[in-house]
Amino acid sequence: MALDMIDVAIEITIGKEGKYSNHPSDSGGETMWGITWKVAKKHGYDGPMKDLPRDEAKRIYRAEYFMEPGFDKVLPHSATIAKELFDTGVNIGPKQPCYWLQQCLNRLNLKGKLYADLKVDGAIGPNTIKALDSYLKHRGGQGELVLYRMLNCCQGSYYNQLVDKREKDEDFIFGWYLHRVG
C-alpha cells in the first residue's frame, strides 16, 4: 500500500524528531517520536513515553498536527506548503504557522488586487484556501517557492526571539536551523 502525502510528511518529521528524549532544557518535557507527554495524554495514551508505539504517534500526528489545524485543506493546493506548515506546527505548535500563512498571503496579494486581505485569526478556512489558490494560480511555482521561504523566515525569526527570551533554548537552535528552516 502506497503512503499518502500526510503519511510521507509524518515519516519525514518522525525522522527529524527521533525516538525518546527527556532533555532538561526542553519545555515540552518527555517526548517519544516527537510527541510530548501532554499531547499523548490528550489523545488517550497513558503509558510510559518510552513505550509510545510509532503507529500511535503517527495517529496523533495526523489528528493533532495535520487535520485539526486544517493543513489537510492546504495539501491539494500545495503539498510543499502543507508539509512545511505541519512540520513547523509539530515543532512550535500548530496555531502559529496558521497565522503566518495568513499574514504572508496578505503580504503577497498585490495590495488587494489578487484577493482581499484575510482576517489573521489562525483558522484555515475557505477564505484562506481561496486566497492561497488565487496566489498560486497567479504566481505558479515561483510563488510556491516564495511563500515557502517566507514561512521559513517567520520560523527562523520565531526561533531567534525564543532564544533571546529563554537562554535554555540555545541547546536547540543549531538543530532547529539545521533540520527545520529550509
Per-residue pLDDT of the chain (182 residues; tens, 9 = 90+): 345 999 999 999 999 998 999 999 988 899 999 999 999 999 999 999 999 999 999 999 999 999 999 999 999 999 999 999 999 999 999 999 999 999 999 999 999 999 999 999 999 999 999 999 999 999 999 999 999 999 999 999 999 999 999 999 999 999 999 988 98
State the CB neighbour count (10 A cutoff) for residue 46: 7
- Residue 165 sits in the same domain as residue 106: yes
DSSP 105-156: HHHTSTTTTSSPPPP-SS---HHHHHHHHHHHHHHHHHHHHHHHHHHHHHHH
Of 23, 43, 68, the position where a domain reaches its end is 68
- Residue 51 sits in the same domain as residue 86: no
Q: For residue 32, what is the domain's CATH number?
A: 1.20.141.10
- CA 161 to chain CA centroid, Å, is 18
Q: Structural domain of residue 34, as residue ranges?
A: 1-68
- Residue 51 sits in the same domain as residue 82: no
- Residue 87 sits in the same domain as residue 172: yes
- Residue 88 sits in the same domain as residue 157: yes
- Residue 107 sits in the same domain as residue 36: no
Residue reference for cell 533554548: 169
- Residue 40 sits in the same domain as residue 128: no
Number of domains the chain is built from: 2
